[in-house]
Amino acid sequence: MRINAFGMYYRKLNETIRACSDHNIVIDHLCGQRYIACAEKDRLFTLRGTPGNGLAQYMDGATVEVFGNCQEAVGDTMNSGEIIIHGHCGDACAYGMRGGRILIEGNVGYRAGVHMKAHLDHQPVLIVGGTAGSFLGEYLAGGLIAVLGIGAKGAYPCRYFCGTGMHGGKIILRCDKKPEALPPQVLVSLASADDLSELAPHVEAYCHHFGHDVQTLMAQTYYVLTPNPEASYKRLYTFE
């Protein structure tokens, strides 16, 4: 099914999507319509334009490919599936994400990956091609966040307070020098062979969709941020 969303109110658009039984949904001329593909399980969405807030919230297995920029709260509490964004993304992307993968060609705003979490084989992944705003991975509880820093010329690819309160998961950053002035909850180390092996398939997927060279990206310097067990917010969490 192909939908022309020009001038269409977001409720009418979502009603049209729900009423359609097609597996493939193409939506053209998006301009801020909210809550597209929320809780979808097994369909393929091709979106052209700028979808509004709450894209693919609670998504549970669908694939969403966006040819344009995205607004806030993409993939909020997403369970599984994949979101591919040919552009930039706003704030609070992947908030509470519990599984699946989000690939962002360009930059992401503030508070991306806040409180992402993992359980058994559900391991959420957020890959940012450009740079990230402040509070990346705040209270991170599980999963993988990687910022490739494309266009940053080797500089630290995040703003302030990266990993504040993180107590699980891993953040991988491509930059020439070891990140400094990080919160006390964060340990920094040069990426190991195992870290790079974990990252590689996601970089390959990124390059497949956005046209970069895998070998060139993987040959760069990466640093890994992990939780510091000696400085965690112990009163907030229960450990066995």
Determine the straight-line distance between the first and last CA of the chain, rounded to whole angstroms. Answer: 50
State which H helix or E strand residue 209 sits in: helix 193-210
CATH of 2-236, one of 3.40.50.720, 2.160.20.60, 1.10.3720.10, 2.60.15.10: 2.160.20.60
Residue 56, pLDDT score = 98
Q: Which amino acid is at 124?
A: P
Say yes or no to pLDDT of 234 above 60.
Answer: no
User: What was the pLDDT predicted at 240?
Assistant: 47
Distance between CA 98 and CA 76 in Å, rounded? 9
For 130-149, write each residue's pLDDT tens digit.
999 999 999 999 999 999 99
**How far lies 153's CA from each of 96, 123, 150, 175, in Å?**
30, 30, 7, 8
Provide the pLDDT for residue 229: 85
- Asked whether the whole model's pTM tops 0.85, one would answer yes
DSSP state of 191: P
pLDDT (0 to 100) of residue 32:
97
| Number of other CB atoms surrounding residue 168 within 10 Å | 17
Please report where in the chains the tokens 């609070």 appear, as a residue: 92
Residue positions counted in the chain: 240
Q: How many CB atoms lie within 10 A of CB 196?
A: 14
Q: What is the arithmetic mean of pLDDT over 171-186?
A: 94
Q: What pLDDT is stored for residue 231 in this prediction? A: 73
Q: Which residues contact 34 (CB under 8 A, 6 or more apart)?
A: 10, 51, 52, 53, 54, 55
Which tops the pLDDT comparison, 230 or 204?
204
For the chain, give every domain's residue range: 2-236
Residue 59 β-bridge partners: none
